[in-house]
Structure 1
Amino acid sequence: MIAMQEELNQFERSEIWELVPRPQNQSVIGTRWVFRNKMDENDIIISNKARLVAQGFNQEEGRDYEETFAPVARLETIRMLLAFAYFKDFVLYQMDVKSAFLNGFINEEVYVEQPPSFQSFNFPNHVFKLKKALYGLKQAPKD
């Protein structure tokens, strides 16, 4: 439960969505929790991870989305960056960004169900209108 609450707190800080009344003429995508245990080198659980994902497999091309986009760097681009950094004597740092994918805004109107076990007490029939991408969607930010 703590891992799920941390994920939702991250969404709130990042302003991923807003709670709105259920639209009449728009499809609403389901959500589900994906869990993973993070282990150390001795296979001892050090933390529990929870990620809320959209059930994008229910989306239909032409109705729910027009185009897909995968935010992935090509290997050639990474090699060019490394070569340029070496040539210019730049110092590069590696970092793990927990929610880099979620930082870009999406242009389409996308609605998702409230997370299982975390429905609003005051508005149980409302849905979330996404402002930013959520894992599992066919849509992705392009910026």
Structure 2
Amino acid sequence: MRKEMMMTEKNGTWQLTDRPRDKKVISVKWVYRTKLNLDGSVNKLKTRLVVKGYAQVWGVDYTETFAPVARLDTIKVLLAIAVQKGWKIFQLDVKSAFLNGVLEEEIYMEQPYGFAVKGA
């Protein structure tokens, strides 16, 4: 939890504000996951803060959704072209990429459990 909170604070993902009376506030929850090694021993414990988006209503709380994910067909075509041209292929992962998106609208969520303002 601490690592997740540090990443969101570092990125300026949110700011603490008074709860607005005229806006819907989305609930949040912590999701826990245990990553295991091949032998079954614990590799690391992961925590992610998620909003309960299933409680939102289309047309009221939002009007469109978007997930920047490549289609499998596109990936296959790119791999075929790379093989044909003899290109080297590299894989990379952007850690906490979902925190780097820019929203045009304001979204209000509950203050997550464990969140504390420094110096307050």
> What TM-score, normalized to structure 2?
0.87
Of 39-48 and 114-123, the range deviating more from structure 2: 114-123
Give 1:91's aligned amino acid.
K
| 1:111 corresponds to 2:104 | no
User: 1:126 aligns to what?
Assistant: none
Alignment of 1:1-143 (within 5 A): 4-120=1-117
What is the identity percentage for the equivalent residue pairs of Structure 1 and Structure 2?
46
- Gapped regions of structure 2 (runs ≥ 5): none
CA distance in 2, matches of 1:9, 1:121: 12
The answer on whether the counterparts of 2:28 and 2:50 sit within 8 Å (CA) in structure 1 is yes
User: 1:129 aligns to what?
Assistant: none
Give 2:60's aligned amino acid.
R
- Give the secondary structure class of the aligned counterpart of 1:20: coil
CA distance in 2, matches of 1:122, 1:47: 31
- The alignment covers a number of residue pairs equal to 120
CA distance in 1, matches of 2:119, 2:10: 21
**Deviation by residue 1:23-77 (Cα, 9 ceiling, x = unmatched):** 1210000110000111101110121100000011111111110112232211111
CA distance in 1, matches of 2:118, 2:94: 32
Of 40-49 and 94-103, the range deviating more from structure 2: 94-103
1:19 deviation in Å? Answer: 1.6
1:110 deviation in Å? Answer: 0.7
The structure that has the greater radius of gyration is 2
Of 17-26 and 84-93, the range deviating more from structure 2: 84-93
